[in-house]
Structure 1
Protein backbone atom coordinates (compact mmCIF):
# COMPACT_ATOMS: atom_id res chain seq x y z
CA UNK A 1 0.00 0.00 0.00
CA UNK A 2 2.90 2.35 0.63
CA UNK A 3 3.83 2.09 -3.04
CA UNK A 4 0.51 3.71 -4.00
CA UNK A 5 1.56 6.85 -2.14
CA UNK A 6 4.33 7.22 -4.72
CA UNK A 7 2.68 5.79 -7.84
CA UNK A 8 -0.61 7.71 -7.77
CA UNK A 9 0.97 11.18 -7.62
CA UNK A 10 3.56 10.08 -10.19
CA UNK A 11 0.83 8.92 -12.59
CA UNK A 12 -1.12 12.14 -12.07
CA UNK A 13 2.02 14.19 -12.69
CA UNK A 14 2.81 12.35 -15.93
CA UNK A 15 -0.79 12.79 -17.04
CA UNK A 16 -0.64 16.53 -16.35
CA UNK A 17 2.61 16.81 -18.31
CA UNK A 18 0.95 15.06 -21.26
CA UNK A 19 -2.10 17.29 -21.03
CA UNK A 20 0.14 20.35 -20.88
CA UNK A 21 2.03 19.17 -23.98
CA UNK A 22 -1.26 18.67 -25.81
CA UNK A 23 -2.50 22.16 -24.97
CA UNK A 24 0.87 23.63 -25.96
CA UNK A 25 0.65 21.86 -29.34
CA UNK A 26 -2.87 23.18 -29.87
CA UNK A 27 -1.85 26.75 -28.98
CA UNK A 28 1.27 26.56 -31.21
CA UNK A 29 -0.87 25.44 -34.21
CA UNK A 30 0.96 22.14 -34.56
CA UNK A 31 -2.19 20.56 -35.99
CA UNK A 32 -2.95 23.33 -38.49
CA UNK A 33 -2.33 21.26 -41.66
CA UNK A 34 -2.43 17.55 -40.80
CA UNK A 35 -3.07 16.47 -44.41
CA UNK A 36 -0.31 18.53 -46.06
CA UNK A 37 2.74 16.50 -45.07
CA UNK A 38 0.89 13.22 -45.47
CA UNK A 39 0.06 14.03 -49.08
CA UNK A 40 3.46 15.57 -49.93
CA UNK A 41 5.30 12.38 -49.00
CA UNK A 42 3.23 10.47 -51.56
CA UNK A 43 4.04 12.78 -54.47
CA UNK A 44 5.92 11.07 -57.28
CA UNK A 45 9.28 12.78 -57.72
CA UNK A 46 11.10 10.12 -59.72
CA UNK A 47 14.34 10.97 -61.46
CA UNK A 48 14.30 11.00 -65.26
CA UNK A 49 15.44 7.70 -66.82
CA UNK A 50 18.73 9.18 -68.03
CA UNK A 51 19.71 10.51 -64.59
CA UNK A 52 18.75 7.21 -62.97
CA UNK A 53 21.02 5.31 -65.39
CA UNK A 54 23.95 7.62 -64.61
CA UNK A 55 23.44 7.11 -60.88
CA UNK A 56 23.38 3.33 -61.35
CA UNK A 57 26.74 3.41 -63.16
CA UNK A 58 28.51 5.22 -60.32
Structure 2
Protein backbone atom coordinates (compact mmCIF):
# COMPACT_ATOMS: atom_id res chain seq x y z
CA UNK A 1 0.00 0.00 0.00
CA UNK A 2 2.89 2.36 0.63
CA UNK A 3 3.88 2.17 -3.05
CA UNK A 4 0.80 4.28 -3.84
CA UNK A 5 2.46 7.19 -2.04
CA UNK A 6 5.31 6.97 -4.54
CA UNK A 7 3.39 6.16 -7.72
CA UNK A 8 0.78 8.92 -7.48
CA UNK A 9 3.32 11.80 -7.32
CA UNK A 10 5.35 10.20 -10.13
CA UNK A 11 2.18 9.93 -12.26
CA UNK A 12 1.30 13.56 -11.56
CA UNK A 13 4.80 14.68 -12.54
CA UNK A 14 4.67 12.69 -15.79
CA UNK A 15 1.25 14.12 -16.71
CA UNK A 16 2.41 17.66 -15.90
CA UNK A 17 5.52 17.17 -18.03
CA UNK A 18 3.42 15.85 -20.94
CA UNK A 19 1.13 18.89 -20.70
CA UNK A 20 4.08 21.28 -20.68
CA UNK A 21 5.57 19.60 -23.76
CA UNK A 22 2.20 19.63 -25.55
CA UNK A 23 1.59 23.34 -24.91
CA UNK A 24 5.15 24.15 -25.95
CA UNK A 25 4.58 22.31 -29.25
CA UNK A 26 1.34 24.20 -29.87
CA UNK A 27 2.94 27.53 -29.02
CA UNK A 28 5.86 26.95 -31.42
CA UNK A 29 3.48 25.97 -34.28
CA UNK A 30 4.58 22.35 -34.50
CA UNK A 31 1.09 21.34 -35.63
CA UNK A 32 0.57 23.98 -38.33
CA UNK A 33 1.50 21.96 -41.43
CA UNK A 34 0.68 18.31 -40.94
CA UNK A 35 0.08 17.53 -44.63
CA UNK A 36 3.33 18.73 -46.18
CA UNK A 37 5.37 15.66 -45.31
CA UNK A 38 2.69 13.36 -46.67
CA UNK A 39 2.54 15.21 -49.99
CA UNK A 40 6.29 15.58 -50.35
CA UNK A 41 6.64 12.13 -51.92
CA UNK A 42 4.28 13.14 -54.72
CA UNK A 43 6.40 15.98 -56.07
CA UNK A 44 9.72 15.99 -57.87
CA UNK A 45 12.64 17.71 -56.21
CA UNK A 46 14.24 18.80 -59.47
CA UNK A 47 12.41 22.02 -60.38
CA UNK A 48 13.51 24.34 -63.16
CA UNK A 49 14.81 27.80 -62.32
CA UNK A 50 11.50 29.49 -63.09
CA UNK A 51 9.58 26.99 -61.01
CA UNK A 52 11.95 27.52 -58.08
CA UNK A 53 11.44 31.29 -58.26
CA UNK A 54 7.68 30.86 -58.41
CA UNK A 55 7.72 28.44 -55.47
CA UNK A 56 9.82 30.87 -53.43
CA UNK A 57 7.43 33.73 -54.21
CA UNK A 58 4.46 31.61 -53.17
CA UNK A 59 6.23 30.66 -49.96
CA UNK A 60 6.94 34.30 -49.13
CA UNK A 61 3.32 35.28 -49.83
CA UNK A 62 2.06 32.48 -47.63
CA UNK A 63 4.38 33.52 -44.80
CA UNK A 64 3.18 37.14 -45.08
CA UNK A 65 -0.42 35.98 -45.01
CA UNK A 66 0.22 33.86 -41.90
CA UNK A 67 1.91 36.74 -40.09
CA UNK A 68 -0.95 39.07 -41.05
CA UNK A 69 -3.50 36.54 -39.81
CA UNK A 70 -1.72 36.29 -36.47
CA UNK A 71 -1.68 40.05 -35.99
Question: What is the TM-score of this pair, normalised by structure 1?
Answer: 0.69
Total equivalences in the alignment: 44
List gaps (5 residues or longer) in structure 1.
46-58
RMSD of aligned residue pairs (Cα, Å): 1.2
- Give the Cα–Cα distance (whole angstroms) in 2 for the partners of residues 29 and 44 of structure 1: 24
Q: Which runs of 4+ in 1 moved over 4 A?
A: none
Partner of 1:9: 9
Which structure has the bigger radius of gyration?
A: 1
Q: Which has the higher contact order (CA 8 A, sep 6+)?
A: 1
Question: What is the TM-score of this pair, normalised by structure 2?
Answer: 0.57
